[in-house]
Amino acid sequence: SMATASQQVIDRMARQIVDLLE
C-alpha cells in the first residue's frame, strides 16, 4: 500500500541517519 511504501522510505532514511552515528 502507499502507507507501507512511504514507511519503507522513512525506515531507509532512519538507517542512513544512524549510519552517521556508528
Partner 1 sequence: HREQVRSIAVPVFACSDDRPGLGLRLTEAVHKEIQRRLPYRVVPGGSADSRLIGRVLGAYKDVIGETRNDDPRTLQLQLAVEVTWTDMRTQKVLA
What is the C-alpha to C-alpha distance for residues 22 and 9, in angstroms, rounded to an integer? 21
CB of 15 to partner 1, least distance (A): 6
Binding site for partner 1 (CB under 8 A): 2, 5-7, 9-11, 13-15, 17-18, 20-22
User: DSSP letters along 1-22, please?
Assistant: -HHHHHHHHHHHHHHHHHHTT-
Least distance (Å) between residue 9 CB and partner 1: 5
Please, what is the minimum distance in Å from the beta carbon of residue 6 to partner 1? 6
